[in-house]
Copies of this chain bind each other. A is one copy, B any other.
Amino acid sequence: MSFDLLSSGLSILAQVENPPTTAPAVVPVVNPADTAWMLVSTALVLFMTPALAFFYGGLARSKNMLNTMMMSFIAMGFVGVAWALVGYSLAFSDGNKFIGGLSWAFLQTIGTDPKVGTTIPHVLFMAYQATFAIITAALISGAIIERMRFGAYVAFITLWSIVVYAPVCHWVWGGGWAGAAPGIGALDFAGGTVVHINAAAAALVAAIVVGKRKDFGRQALLPHNVPLVLLGAGALWFGWFGFNGGSALASNASAATAFTNTMLAPCATMVAWTLLDLLRTGKVTGVGCGTGIVVGLVAITPAAGFLSPTSAMAVGLIAAFPSYFAIIIRAKTSLDDSLDVFAAHGLGGITGALLTGVFADETWGGAGNKGLLNGNPGQLLIQAEAIVGTLVYSLVVSFILIKIIGFLLPLKATDAQQGVGLDVVDHGEEAYSNGEGAVLILENESTSTPAASPSTIGAR
């Protein structure tokens, strides 16, 4: 969806949202074709969260595999419920310029009539938005895997989805300050700012506050399963078609444009990333290929429906550079943003949001949506404002939130716990097991080994 609904090609219906010229005659009606595409898009975006679990999990060490995956999966539970209960209302119901109200809390009054300004049932719009809230929260986990305690993490992302994600979403898509005025607002087709920059800022804060892994910088921490990283990257790409293509909220030309760009931009990023890899190390890496795909997808997200496929390839190509070098440099610092959430989603999102202000083209993105190259240099500034606003808010509020949680719950696993691995410590399971040496404990059996009590390492 765009900051400016008029522009996304839904000219007739968008008038409903356009205050000056309220269109009295348009009776909102559910369009079956648009609904079909949005049903599919919602399923695709929900599927991105398991995909992310694989992408992140494959990059972790095997003793933390389950913990890493669960950090994504659990977002579907807790953030999903929080969104239905209050998040959606705070983001999308009427409120002030900074936050929505509670009139839609507990999904009150939300039915199957079309959401105003769209042609799809309101419940479906809510479900579609829920999948965005979930994946955004899950993205944060990449920065703090292998040491953040699971309880604190769940508390953090659940509350974050309410106090950070919902307001930022309101600013941009829910009637808030950033997206309010058609033609002069920032352009963010599918969430470069709301999703990626926002999550990356929170990830940065979390990585710093939680601190680095005990082995970071001392040992090589290698991905335990690169095929799963590629599985995740492939499935993310698949799901991203719903993320960007679905953001047109209809099965129309805008969706087709966003879709095509979501395909071509990562192709170009992959080519650029591959050649950078080749020049630097003489080899084309699989982890690099997966990372390049994600960076390309992130970069095209804010731009997807606003520019031509050729421009999309340019965006994908350019976006490879800042993220590629940031990842290399980050690894040499003491910042343990373990899976480079900031380099991939933060820088990728910023590059994409700025380039949207460069390449946006009225022919593709609708009247009024044009960037620097089409004679509207001011758009670049507007884009920068939205980026900075989101960064500042997310950094500050995420910091306060994680500090508060740190008072109530242990944030970080001890060195001994990190040694054992968080799968055993936080989940009492191993990802890969052959059952050797596993002894059944029956209820009323006295323990039969020298260890008198259950492991204290794994205790909370």
Contact A50 B107 (CB under 8 A): no
Instruction: From the candidates B54, B263, B266, B363, name the one contacting A130 in the complex (CB within 8 A).
Output: B263
A310 vs B228: C-alpha distance when bound (angstroms): 36
Establish whether residues A427 and B73, one from each chain, have CB atoms under 8 Å apart when the complex forms: no
B286 touches A36 (CB 8 A): no
Q: Which residues of B contact A250 (CB under 8 A)?
A: 32
Interface contact B76-A270, CB-CB below 8 Å: yes
In the complex, residue of chain B having the shortest beta-carbon distance to the beta carbon of A269: B77
A327 in contact (CB, < 8 A):
no
Q: A271, B81: Cβ atoms under 8 Å?
A: yes
Q: A110-B309, A224-B433, A252-B32 are in contact. Are A230 and B69 (CB under 8 A)?
A: yes
Residue A173 CB within 8 A of the other chain: no
Q: How far is the CB of A392 from chain B (nearest CB, A)?
A: 31
A415–B100 CA distance with the chains assembled, in angstroms: 64
Using Cβ atoms and an 8 Å threshold, which residues of chain B touch A226?
65-66, 429-432
Is A49 in contact with B284, judged by CB distance below 8 angstroms?
A: no
Q: Does A152 contact B (CB under 8 A)?
A: no
Instruction: Indicate whether A227 sits within 8 Å of B57 (C-beta atoms), given known contacts A80-B263, A127-B260.
Output: yes
A364 to B122, CA, bound (A): 13
Q: A210-236: contact bitstring with B at CB < 8 Å (1 yes, 0 no)?
A: 000000011111111111101101110
* A255: interface (CB < 8 Å): yes
Q: Which residues of B contact A231 (CB under 8 A)?
A: 50, 54
What is the bound-complex CA distance between A431 and B224, given in angstroms? 8
Q: Which residue of B lies closest to A42 (CB)?
A: B259
Q: How far is the CB of A70 from chain B (nearest CB, A)?
A: 5
Does the CB pair A126–B227 fall under 8 Å?
no
The 8 Å CB contact of A65, one of B227, B253, B427, B439, is B227
CB of A382 within 8 Å of the partner chain = no
Known contacts A31-B32, A267-B84, A284-B150, A257 near B112 by CB under 8 Å: yes
The answer, yes or no, to whether A336 is at the interface (CB within 8 Å) is no
Docked pose: A341 CA to B431 CA in angstroms: 22
Known: A77-B271, A255-B35, A310-B107. A459 touches B46 (CB 8 A): no
Taking a contact as CB atoms under 8 Å apart, the answer to whether A74 and B284 are in contact is: yes
A416 to chain B, nearest CB (A): 17
Chain A 50-89 per-residue mask, 1 if CB under 8 angstroms from chain B, else 0: 1101100100011001100110011011101100100000
- Nearest first, the 8 A-B pairs at minimum CB distance are A50-B234, A77-B270, A80-B267, A32-B33, A112-B253, A220-B438, A121-B256, A36-B251
